[in-house]
Amino acid sequence: MKYLYFPGCSLKSSGRSYEESLLSVLKKMNVGVEEIDDWNCCGATNYMAMNERNAIGITARNLALAEKQGKEDIMAPCAACYMGLLKTQKYIETEPKVKETVLTNLKKSGLEFENTSKVRHPLDIFINDISLDTIKDNVYAPLKGVKVACYYGCQLTRPYATFDDQRDPQSMENIVKALGGTPVEWPIKTRCCSGSMTSTVSEIGLRMSYLILKEAKDRGADVMITACPLCQFNLECFQGKMSGKYGENVKMPVMYFTQLMGMAFGLDKKELGLHRMLSPELSLS
């Protein structure tokens, strides 16, 4: 099993521990990964707000580079990159004018493009290719008694993804169960964390992320897991600020789902990037 890996910008900087833990966990399960050579930024939500053709164009370059490198599926761990890649494929399929511009530009830069790669999120890969049984087989320290709030955020399941339910996804819950933990029931797991608004309109951004942490705490979660570097950043790095601002302590461990998997697999803290986290540590005892 092998995948072409599209990390995106965050996984190389503030979200490094997502890359570290994802690659460590995949290695433990003998899954091969090859980074797409010379990939560029996916444009996130900002490119679409400025120029549609260019937003589709820069992402199409990544898809074309992947095709050039191999026939394997593309693995995109960041929810925004993942959604952007799916959206680009869809636009090229359904909007002939956009397609024409993109193909002409790709040709100019020496790239062929057939739009044939499959874009996958690691959650999809873990559940549908690797299987929950293999995950179970790798558990070394079961998460006995650990209550986990699985947070999906928005763009991971909406609007293009088909690997899970758009309103009540279960992929992470199933992984948590395979690790021996207990997922908590909570209705707001696909509510938006506000994206980059924590740094632009922080009065709104912080409040949105605060509500998510508070709900998880109220439901008795010991830890929250995420599958997107932006959600992770918002929920992990502003806990002190929010607790002060809204007069309620919302400090709790927030980590990537791959870090929690790695902990249950008995992997080393450093391999999982746990030394980089700013939220309280989850102790398994």
Partner 1 sequence: MTMKSTQNNLPLQEISHESDLDKNFGKHIAKMAHGEKLFGCIQCGNCSASCPMSVYMDHTPRKIIAMIRAGFRDEVLSSKTIWLCASCYNCTVECPKGIKITEIMYALKRDAILTKNYPKGFPIPILSRTFYNEVKRSGRINETSLLMKYYFSYNIFKSLGYAALAIKLFFTGRLILFEKGIKNKAGLKQMLSSSKN
Contacting positions for partner 1 (CB under 8 A): 9-10, 12-17, 38-41, 43-54, 57-58, 60-61, 94-95, 101-102, 105-106, 108-111, 154-155, 158-159, 166-167, 191-192, 194-197, 199-202, 204, 208, 237-238, 275-278
Residue 141 or residue 201: which is nearer to partner 1 going by CB?
201
Stated as kind and residue range, the H or E segment containing 119 is: strand 119-120
State in angstroms the smallest separation of the CB of 12 from partner 1. Answer: 7
Take residue 166 and report the two structure tokens written for it. 């758009």
Q: Considering beta carbons, is residue 109 or 285 the nearer one to partner 1?
A: 109
- Whole-angstrom Cα distance, residue 37 to residue 165? 32
DSSP-assigned letter for residue 35:
E
Cα dihedral 226, 227, 229, 230, rounded to 10, equals -70
Closer CB to partner 1, residue 44 or residue 263?
44
In the bound state with partner 1, the residue whose beta carbon lies nearer, of 37 and 137, is 37
Q: What's the closest the beta carbon of residue 138 comes to partner 1, in angstroms?
A: 27
C-beta of 48: minimal distance to partner 1 in Å?
5
Provide the token pair at 34. 């090859």
How many whole angstroms separate alpha carbon 265 and alpha carbon 143?
A: 10
Give 13 or 30: the residue with its C-beta nearer to partner 1: 13
Residue 62 CB, nearest approach to partner 1 (Å): 10
Instruction: Please return the burial class of 13, using the count of CB atoms within 10 Å of its CB with bins 0-12, 13-18 and 19+.
Output: exposed
Quote the tokens at residue 181.
């933990």
Smallest distance from partner 1 to CB 174, Å? 22
C-alpha to C-alpha distance for 115 and 64, rounded to whole angstroms: 8
